[in-house]
Amino acid sequence: KLNRLHPPAFAVEQAMAPLILLLLTFLATTDARNDRAISVSPARLAELSEPLAVIRQVGTSGHRRVRNHLVEFLSRQPGWQVELDTFHAETPIGRQRFDNIIATLRLNDAQSGSSGQRRLVLAAHYDSKLLPGFVGATDSAVPCAVLLRAAETIGRAVARASRLSPPGPGVDILQLVFFDGEEAFKEWTRTDSLYGSRHLAQKWAQDGTAQQIEALVLLDLIGGRNPKFYYNPHPSSDERVIDTEMRMFIQLGATEAAIIPGSDEPDFDYFQLMKIGSGTVQDDQLPFQEIGVPTVHLIPQPFPAVWHTPADTLDAIEWDQAADVANIVLFWTAQTIGL
């Protein structure tokens, strides 16, 4: 992914500074004592990651086991509806089956009868690269585990909140998407990569779902030492999309300040609010950026040292820091959906 960059827009870096003021507003409404059940310990994150950190190249038995594990786990969580977005596509090694996994939690409809369809999407890919012995712990077993923890905790919290108070002001639907076929089978090209996200973006653009997405947050390469996240705008994004993306990124930084001891704005340990990254990394967010969906791409720059090597195993994960990042995402999600 290092060689798949679009250069950033300088104007965005200039625009970032005034929006830092929004951080103070978000902090004022962020109660770090909010439902701490929506969190994850390093031990639990490791436990959730273990069944996923296996060789799971598309078309292999390991890939099918991981797909089935994800579906079964998600189906056991209260409130979530799970579906497969199954399709076939030609690849450099022949025609392959792909299965995007989509878990949907309706937040407001049950109590309010609202027909609103505003969506927040959290996403990661679950396939592994076609390399000998490669299990891809950071790429992307741990990111998938973060999504599993979201499923495990948020459904119960939403059920409790709906009995105690009216629905919050956030979105109407929370979705977890596990993309299939992110990795190239041979060399990375526009046609040999991002199979699942390209298919789903096209499908959702055609049926109107894409227009309902408030934001898509993509996690990738989580678990390395001292990750740094930057806002990376897509060159074709308009002012509305960039403004939305920057606000979300700043809110994530504010969440870090609220819940991670020792974080000190404006340049926190993880979220680098005063800098723009080296460019847009071509990843599963790209097909959605190209159809105008606001996205936040949580991928560290530089990439973990173990990227695309056999050393990308659970033994290489910095679990305390991975749990920090996971908890920032989980708590921000809870705030965003109105819990």
In a domain, 296, yes or no: yes
Q: Which pTM value belongs to this model?
A: 0.90
- Tell me how far apart the alpha carbons of residues 273 and 252 are, in angstroms, rounded to a whole number: 10
- Token pair for 125: 């890919």
- Tell me how far apart the alpha carbons of residues 115 and 106 are, in angstroms, rounded to a whole number: 11
Question: What's residue 11's pLDDT?
Answer: 47
In the chain, how many domains are there?
1
pLDDT above 70 for 170:
no
What's the pLDDT band for 166 if we cut at 50, 70, 90?
very low
Q: Which is nearest to 128 in space by CA: 187, 62, 65, 192?
A: 62
Q: Where are the beta strands (DSSP E) in the chain?
A: 5-6, 80-91, 94-106, 119-125, 173-179, 213-219, 229-231, 271-276, 280-281, 295-298
In a domain, 63, yes or no: yes
In a domain, 234, yes or no: no
Report the CATH number at residue 147: 3.40.630.10
Tens of pLDDT, residues 272-310: 887 776 677 999 999 999 999 999 999 999 999 999 999
Question: What's residue 280's pLDDT?
Answer: 77
Of 162-166, 257-261, 323-327, minimum mean pLDDT range: 162-166
Question: What's residue 211's pLDDT?
Answer: 96
- Residue 96 CB-density burial (10 A; 0-12 exposed, 13-18 middle, 19+ buried): middle
Mean pLDDT along residues 247-274: 82
Structural domain that includes position 196: 36-225+282-336
- Tell me how far apart the alpha carbons of residues 233 and 189 are, in angstroms, rounded to a whole number: 21
Is the preceding peptide bond at 227 cis, omega within 30 degrees of 0?
no
Q: CB of 140 within 8 A of CB of 222? A: yes
Tens of pLDDT, residues 233-243: 888 899 999 99
> CA of 133: how far to CAs of 21, 152, 154, 263, in Å?
47, 30, 34, 37
- Tell me how far apart the alpha carbons of residues 158 and 167 are, in angstroms, rounded to a whole number: 9
In a domain, 198, yes or no: yes
Query: Looking up tokens 């299965």, which residue turns up?
Result: 99
Query: Looking up tokens 């969190």, which residue turns up?
Result: 39
Q: Which residue has the higher pLDDT, 40 or 2?
A: 40
pLDDT above 60 for 1:
no
In a domain, 183, yes or no: yes
In a domain, 27, yes or no: no
Active-site residue flag, 182: yes
pLDDT above 80 for 10:
no
Active-site residue flag, 214: no
In a domain, 204, yes or no: yes
pLDDT above 70 for 135:
yes
What's the pLDDT band for 20 if we cut at 50, 70, 90?
low
Of 220, 245, 256, 312, which is the active-site residue?
220
In a domain, 67, yes or no: yes
Of 139, 182, 183, 312, which is the active-site residue?
182
Q: What angle do CA 277, 210, 100 make, to 5 degrees?
A: 85
- Tell me how far apart the alpha carbons of residues 67 and 181 are, in angstroms, rounded to a whole number: 12
